[in-house]
Amino acid sequence: MDKRQHIAIFTTASLPWLTGTAVNPLFRAAYLARDGKRKVTLVIPWLKLKDQEHVYSNNITFNSANEQEKYVRQWLEERIGFTSPFIIRFYPGRFSLHKRSILALGDITEIIQDEEADIAVLEEPEHLTWYHHGKRWKTKFRLVIGIVHTNYLEYVRREKNGQLQAFFLKYINSWVVNIYCHKVIRLSAATQELPRSVICNVHGVNPRFLDIGMKKKEQQWNREQAFTKSTYYIGKMVWNKGYKELLKLLHAHQKELTGLEVDLYGSGQDSDQVQEAAKNLEIPVRVHPGRDHADRLFHDYKVFLNPSTTDVVCTTTAEALAMGKIVVCANHPSNDFFKRFPNCRMYDDGNGFVEETLKALQDEPAPLTDAQKHELSWEAATERFLEAAELDAVPTKKLNKTPSPSKLFMSTPFNIRRNFEDASAMVHFLGTGFLSSQPDEELCKEVGLSVSPKKRSYPSKRWVF
């Protein structure tokens, strides 16, 4: 038996959808497995063709899971420059147009065989457990770690009856995370308080951005003009991704910001409205389709404006800092990690935004130091993850057969808290029986599940506490 820790990373999205829960878990898997000390499996959703067409950009679709895995690995290796020995497995999923998210179908813990079940990392634990109907995560795995990516409460507050929805969602999130996770890592204090949680940014940046930053540093040392363009913003073009805040600030301070020119890059359902709002400004604001942030087009911009407060830790802010740019962002818990970088300029209100933006246009960015470069890297992010999750303190799985969950429970002393958690888990299991969906035979075959969903059941003997 393999004596190494086996880490199974479950996430809610996959490339070519360039969203945080597709990209960051992929890098995490690659860097955790890099030295061969741990066996790492990345578990990602597989979608039917009609769902792929909704989610994946540039008309990219896949006829098989193997085809998508090849695409994912090629994309990754082009960016990290090495081949990592992690495994990729798929679980059946479907895309919800209403939620604009991928939802798991059936019991996705089955993707990992019982003898391999050791440590599970749930990227977006609340999302992965809202509708989970199957074997309990804490029963299947020795240790379950949740990593909270998304400020769901902030998004919900912006919807109709948002405050009421956020009130209920807050307690639902706490409930499911308490049931299913032993430990939770919150990327920043912008997320809600959760049971047994710590705050730590365990994300890094694509090495491409650090390479760009080093080239800019060389240009500055050689007294060349490293930055020839002024200001820009990039992000999915939906109002709650910072566009509303930015356009409001530009509209309210047009006179103070005379001479400023801003380029916006993004694609999304609110693109037409953003373009219309930009036309009504006296400040020249040009709206462009979305592009890869590492594109040569962005290298020469000096100032990145990011007023968004819905992010947990903004990936594009980290990328802009890695490229050696000045970032003007809101003084908000989601940006606490970036305060250590001299090129990060924060503001508290509209007047502060004007002051920091004008100053950034006049200043030359401070060259990125080796220490700052390391802080932004995935090597440092992996070190922070291992420390926050305390994985180095977790003993290796014993070679002898581990006792069954039922025997473990029988040997556990009577514990009120444990009994309450068990009862909560049973309520959630019964409730999700009415809400969760099962994959059809086609999806099961495509991801390699041998049990037909028609024959699959969840008898009480499998739901062991």
Tokens representing residue 313 in the block:
């830790």
Distance of CA 255 to the CA centre of its chain: 38
pLDDT value, residue 273: 95
pLDDT value, residue 241: 87
CA distance 279 to 331: 28
pLDDT value, residue 85: 96
231: enclosing H helix or E strand: strand 229-234
Q: pTM surpassing 0.85?
A: yes
> For the chain, where do the domains classified as CATH 3.40.50.2000 start and end?
207-376
pLDDT value, residue 2: 65
Rg of the chain over all Cα atoms, to the nearest angstrom: 23
pLDDT value, residue 415: 57
pLDDT value, residue 413: 44
Average model confidence (pLDDT) across the chain:
87
pLDDT value, residue 442: 86
CATH class of 207-376: alpha beta
User: What percent of the chain stands above pLDDT 90?
Assistant: 66
Low-confidence ranges of the chain (pLDDT < 70): 1-2, 397-436, 451-465
Give the tens place of pLDDT for each residue, 120-155: 999 999 989 988 888 889 999 999 999 999 888 777
Q: Do 6 and 118 contact (CB within 8 A), yes or no?
A: yes
State the CATH architecture for 5-203+384-462: 3-Layer(aba) Sandwich (3.40)
> For residue 354, with 0-12 CB atoms within 10 Å meaning exposed, 13-18 middle and 19 or more buried, which class applies?
buried
- DSSP symbols for 279-338: HT-SS-EEEE----TTSGGGTTEEEEEE---S-SS-HHHHHHHHTT-EEEEESSGGGGGG
pLDDT value, residue 217: 95
Q: Do 220 and 226 contact (CB within 8 A), yes or no?
A: yes
